[in-house]
Structure 1
Amino acid sequence: MRRRTLVGALLAAAAVPTAAACQSDTGAAAGPTATRSASPTATPPSFTVTPADAAVDVRPDAPVTVSVAHGTLTDVTVTGPDGAPLAGALDAAGTTWTSQGPLAVGSAYAVHAVAQGAPGDAVAHDSTLTTLTPAETAFPAVAPLSGKEVGVGMPIIVTFDSPVADDRRRLVEENLHVTVTPTPVPGSWSWQSDTKVEYRPEQYWPARSAVHLDVDLGSIEVAPGVWGKTRDIDFTIGSAMVSTVDIAAHTLTVTRDGEVLKTIPVTLGQPGHGGKFVTRSGTKVIMSLEASRQMDSETTGIGQDDPNYYNVNVEYAMRVTNSGEFLHAAPWSVSSQGRANVSHGCTGMSTENAKWMFDQSKVGDVVVYTGSDRGIEPGNGFTVWNEAYPQWQQGSALRA
């Protein structure tokens, strides 16, 4: 009996480890604790802003970009000193915003962006940047000035006090905006030199219209290290005064809005003397009006020892060329007016007629001269109408 008891006890003891081994393979290790996986931690949105935070001397023509990783942009606002937001666009993925248009020079900007990451997880970013202050600028002088009323032949003339680089002319032109109301008309800029660009419509300006010029060059580098300026010019076009001078017939015919107002007998430049006094043919534009002007021939190269020297005060002078051609009162030549050409190139008429013409005229009025073999030189006054429009357009950098 004792032997049977011992054997039973041994058998029972042998059975215990076997049960334990089976439990370790299929029991607690395979239960709920082992199958529960930890949730991965969401990566929050991260921003990349160019220019970087606190950047200084930023070029105003450099774009501002805001990009986000691990999220999408829900708001981007870039504001300048005036508080107005900078225009910009978001890409299709919603991860990159890029500014549109230039920044202002010498200005501080604040960047504020918000991105959405995991559900309910929004992250904001704030930074600043400051644009450069130009060491050199090119000021654009403009004719006509704001508030002026001019004639239908007046070109817009922009003259820079520093040269515009050849490879920057196109960009400059793209930022010179001309608006005509109430009826828009086609027109073109044409470069006359590296400091001067002029604008004319295809035909004369529409009478009694308004013209606005937006010189939007404040953020444009017109030459290496030289930046432009911003200006706004508004002027109006008056009545259509277009006169015709027949040099051979010695007459000046004045029209307003297509109606003949008066035909005036005149005298023009005398023949001979190597043709240096012959009045030039071509389309001229009144450049200035002076009630009184001292005319000294020395300013045109005729000295006091020359028999053709003169120094006289004239009334009602209307300049039409840089070289010294005027319409003006010439009471000393009344007997020749309408009959012979005896002047040194100017258009002379009686004092009464000159005063009448002066009172009717304004800067920008057109005077077309015909009848001589001497043509007007390009740039000798406001000579923009002496080229056919397609030829004029060839001077535009936008057509290069």
Structure 2
Amino acid sequence: MQRPGQSTSVRRRTLVGVLLGAAALPAVTACQSDTGGPGAAPAATPPSVTVSPADAATDVRPDAPVSVTVAHGTLTDVTVTAPDGTAVAGALDPAGTTWTSQGPLAVGTAYAVHAVAAGASGASTTHDSTLTTLTPVDTAFPAVAPLAGHEVGVGMPVIVTFDSPVADDRRRLVEENLHVTVTPAPVPGSWSWQSDTEVEYRPEQYWPARSAVHLDIDLGSVEVAPGVWGTTRDIDFTVGSAMVSTVDIAAHTLTVTRDGQVLRTIPVTLGQSGHSGTFVTRSGTKVIMSLERSRQMNSETTGIGQDDPNYYDVAVEYAMRVTNSGEFLHAAPWSVSSQGRANVSHGCTGMSTEDARWMFEHSKVGDVVVYTGSDRGIEPGNGFTVWNETYQQWQQGSALPA
């Protein structure tokens, strides 16, 4: 209602002012959004996971690493597993953005990769993929001496012979995957390459008597030569008593000791002189390589034909081989009168049948026989000759740094 004296024009100006003032106040309503206006923060980028090798990759090299990387976040869980549930070891970098496998994969195996990553906004991403390693076309099988389960003497080397050559630049990697464990106490030892197909192992000193040795050949993921992969084997053998005998070539005696105690001194005959020295028994540390209850010995195997007056073809008993070239300890009943007195053999160590039988029954492959007293030395590789080098000399044949 208009008051007396108030004009219509004044009332209109007042109403317009109120409306303008109300328009200047901030607008607050229930349906207003706080994200779409100028100056609002952008939405966070979700984490993105990348795996190498890529999903469904095949013929993957088993020595190639598996890597999992995340962008815009950190990795909270990574597993790489074989079908049997075996997990591949791996490590995360300090930033938490890259996981890398440690150690080789198995050949011919499908692996499942599972990764979870968390983003800055709290959102997470899960990634699953697979990869399959190659199946080798060519492999190098390692034959091993001694055989699994055998008891050997303290001088027996471990001999690994491959049926395919090992490349020079792969020898170190091969050695790194040949593991020798001795119980009850570890002993130092070294591998030494004898050829591109053979590597041998010996401890610094003789094996400890009555110890156990485990050989782990972990070459299933090692490329030993271009396109040729190794295989995996485990061998266990035991070391028996310390049988170390000494043959004095000049004195015609064989002294047998067990664990440092003399068991018997046996009169023997050894290789005769003359014949350009070809019959002289070699000096050096030899190792019994085989035991044969009987053996036919024929001189033609050493180059002596039937027209030679030194030709022989005779069956011997209780033969114990100590060289590749044909030196044995054995029964020689035909030379008993010379045993302990003169050297009349073609290089072998001859003794009576009774003494040979006793020696045979108390010996095992790997027992040590040290020969002294001749100027003819044992040639490297002419039998198990690993003890004719110092340990430092032996280590020079290893591909590993000293």
Both structures adopt the same fold (TM-score exceeding 0.5)? yes
Tell me which of 383, 386, 396 is aligned to 2:385.
383
Equivalent residue number for residue 192 of structure 2: 190
Deviates further, 204-213 or 89-98? 89-98
**Distance across 1 between alignment mates of 2:34 and 2:217:** 71
Equivalent residue number for residue 250 of structure 2: 248
Please provide the CA RMSD for this pair: 2.3
Is there any run of 5+ residues in structure 1 with no aligned partner, and where? 1-7
**Distance across 2 between alignment mates of 1:274 and 1:367:** 25
In the TM superposition, what is the alpha-carbon distance from 1:107 to its structure 2 partner?
0.6
**Distance across 2 between alignment mates of 1:254 and 1:377:** 24
**Distance across 2 between alignment mates of 1:43 and 1:71:** 9
Within a 5 Å distance, the mapping from 1:6-21 to structure 2 comes to none
Q: Which amino acid aligns with 2:226?
A: P
Tell me which of 86, 89, 101 is aligned to 2:88.
86
**Distance across 2 between alignment mates of 1:223 and 1:22:** 90
Judge conservation of contact 2:189–2:201 (CA < 8 Å) in 1.
yes
Equivalent residue number for residue 141 of structure 1: 143
In the TM superposition, what is the alpha-carbon distance from 1:120 to its structure 2 partner?
4.3
Within a 5 Å distance, the mapping from 1:1-400 to structure 2 comes to 37=37, 38-399=40-401
Cα deviation digits, residues 15-44 of structure 1 (max 9, x gap)? 9999999998x5669999698644532222
**Distance across 1 between alignment mates of 2:315 and 2:236:** 35
Judge conservation of contact 1:315–1:329 (CA < 8 Å) in 2.
yes
In the TM superposition, what is the alpha-carbon distance from 1:82 to its structure 2 partner?
2.0
In the TM superposition, what is the alpha-carbon distance from 1:116 to its structure 2 partner?
1.5
Q: Which amino acid aligns with 1:97?
A: W
Is there any run of 5+ residues in structure 2 with no aligned partner, and where? 1-7
Judge conservation of contact 1:138–1:229 (CA < 8 Å) in 2.
yes
Cα deviation digits, residues 335-372 of structure 1 (max 9, x gap)? 00000000000000000000000000000000000000
| Count of residue pairs the alignment pairs up | 392
Name the structure where helix makes up a greater proportion of residues: 1
Judge conservation of contact 1:286–1:318 (CA < 8 Å) in 2.
yes
TM-score of the aligned structures, taking structure 1 as reference length = 0.93
Q: Which amino acid aligns with 1:218?
A: G
Secondary structure of 2:400's partner? helix
**Distance across 1 between alignment mates of 2:120 and 2:167:** 51
In the TM superposition, what is the alpha-carbon distance from 1:399 to its structure 2 partner?
2.5
**Distance across 1 between alignment mates of 2:352 and 2:145:** 31
**Distance across 2 between alignment mates of 1:147 and 1:163:** 27
Secondary structure of 1:284's partner? strand
In the TM superposition, what is the alpha-carbon distance from 1:124 to its structure 2 partner?
1.2
Judge conservation of contact 1:213–1:232 (CA < 8 Å) in 2.
yes
Equivalent residue number for residue 5 of structure 1: none
Q: Which amino acid aligns with 2:183?
A: T
In the TM superposition, what is the alpha-carbon distance from 1:118 to its structure 2 partner?
4.0
Deviates further, 116-125 or 143-152? 116-125
Q: 1:255 to 1:35 in 2, by over 3 A?
A: closer
In the TM superposition, what is the alpha-carbon distance from 1:276 to its structure 2 partner?
0.2
In the TM superposition, what is the alpha-carbon distance from 1:74 to its structure 2 partner?
1.2
**Distance across 1 between alignment mates of 2:34 and 2:246:** 102
Equivalent residue number for residue 4 of structure 1: none
Judge conservation of contact 1:393–1:399 (CA < 8 Å) in 2.
no
Q: Which amino acid aligns with 1:253?
A: T
**Distance across 2 between alignment mates of 1:248 and 1:39:** 99
Judge conservation of contact 2:44–2:121 (CA < 8 Å) in 1.
no
Q: 1:34 to 1:52 in 2, by over 3 A?
A: closer
Q: Which amino acid aligns with 2:376?
A: R
**Distance across 2 between alignment mates of 1:126 and 1:105:** 21
In the TM superposition, what is the alpha-carbon distance from 1:150 to its structure 2 partner?
0.1
Secondary structure of 1:398's partner? coil
Q: 1:385 to 1:13 in 2, by over 3 A?
A: same
**Distance across 2 between alignment mates of 1:371 and 1:35:** 103
In the TM superposition, what is the alpha-carbon distance from 1:106 to its structure 2 partner?
0.5
Judge conservation of contact 2:243–2:368 (CA < 8 Å) in 1.
yes
Secondary structure of 1:267's partner? coil
In the TM superposition, what is the alpha-carbon distance from 1:224 to its structure 2 partner?
0.5
